[in-house]
A and B are shown apart, each in its own frame.
Chain A
Amino acid sequence: MSEGPLLSGGWLWLAFVLIAVATHLPRGSFIVAGRRARLPESLQRALRYAPAAALAALVFPDMLLLDGRLDPFNPKLVAGLAAFGVALRWRNPWLPFIVGMGVVWLGRL
């Protein structure tokens, strides 16, 4: 469907395996190792910020960059902010998608 230098064949499956390893090592780590291993307190506290920073690092460019250039005035930024606000305010899991995609589509009219 998309055009682009998509990884293909064996490389793609190798990427899946690497992502799986990067998922299941942290998940299994202490459960499998048992009580013998412990993480230093300060490292544990710093790591708590990894998901927030990583999620934002993925999301911000999608909303702010257009073809690699800064373009803050586009419907996707408005859509993203709207979805964020809705997700903060209501627990309904569908609403952010409905509102966010609605704004994107409105912006193209």
Chain B
Amino acid sequence: MTESFRMGAREGFRAFLPLSVGLIPWALVTGVAMRSTGLSVVEAVGMNLIVFAGTAQLGTLPLIGAGAPLWLIAVTALVLNLRFLIFSAALAPAFERVPLLQRMLSGYLLVDGVFAIGAERMLASEDRDWRMGFFLAPSAYAWVLWQVFVLCGVLGAGALPQDWSLEFMATIALITLLAPIARARPMMVAALVGGVATVLLADMPLKLGMIGGIMLGIAAGFAAERWQSRGPAR
């Protein structure tokens, strides 16, 4: 470990620390939600270790609980994770000349918060070791924090009463993710159209209505962006 790796690690950790507090309720809720969907402790811990993605876990749990077809579960997870394609593309230059194994580990660890605090500074730094420290330290910390508090949720879930509609906490967790995104007007349009269309198409078989709703939402957001930038005369 070089001196500049250590320096990057310190700075990355310090930048991510305040944001990391927000992971805690979300991790607890994910743990509780996995148990209240009917997963055993081993299954819940297993899912959390191999998937390690709050949004994808919370988003697919209702489908798992309803016994939805596997392909729909996979497609839903993929759609919820498409943002990582963009994050990954944006960060790629910062990982040039980094060994393959470290790049694969970095891919597994990539989460929204670290991208949010780190992308700009990582891309601006010329020092490869500093960049890796700056990325890996907060990412590893986020992983540990996530695993610990999900485990608390998983183990604590059994102590909670069953008739308190606790599964709605998963919905609230998704709403708190949606809120900051939906601030921008075209994003709000994408969300409204995607949500309403999914409700209206709810009768379609195999939950196809959800895929259709999402596609309509993406199209509407894209259209709203173009309409906003070209804009009719105000």
Contact = CB atoms under 8 A, between A and B. Distances in A.
B22 A100 contact: no
A56 B191 contact: yes
A27 B174 contact: no
B169 A97 contact: yes
B182 A52 contact: yes
Contact of A60 (B162, B182, B195): B195
Contacts of A54: 59, 76, 79-80, 194, 214, 217
Given A6-B65, A56-B195, A47 B213 contact: no
A55 B169 CA distance: 14
A32 B43 CA distance: 29
Interface string B25-48: 110010000011111000100110
8 contacts: A23-B77, A34-B92, A46-B218, A49-B190, A50-B80, A52-B187, A54-B59, A65-B199
Contact of A56 (B35, B87, B178): B178
Assign chain A's interface to a size class.
35 or more
A55 B181 contact: yes
Contacts of B169: 97, 100-101
A1 B35 contact: yes
B145 interface: no
B43 A84 contact: no
B233 interface: no
Assign chain B's interface to a size class.
35 or more
Interface of A is mostly: helix
Contacts of A93: 21-22, 24-26, 176
Nearest to A53: B217
Given A22-B77, A55-B174, 18 more contacts: A2-B167, A19-B73, A23-B56, A27-B87, A34-B103, A48-B83, A49-B186, A51-B82, A53-B194, A57-B194, A57-B197, A57-B214, A61-B198, A83-B175, A100-B169, A101-B165, A101-B169, A101-B172
Given A6-B64, A30-B85, A32-B107, A84 B178 contact: yes
B116 interface: no
B4 interface: no
Given A12-B64, A80-B175, A52 B89 contact: no
Contacts, number: 296
Nearest to A3: B38
Contacts of A5: 66-67
B91 A7 contact: no
Interface string B148-182: 00000000000000101111110111111111111
A35 B174 CA distance: 33
Contacts of B43: 12-13, 16
B53 A15 contact: no
Nearest to A94: B25
A26 B190 contact: no
Interface string A48-88: 11111111111111111100101000001001100110011
B221 A20 contact: no
B196 to A, nearest CB: 7
A83 B108 contact: no
A34 B83 CA distance: 18
Contact of B38 (A6, A51, A104): A6
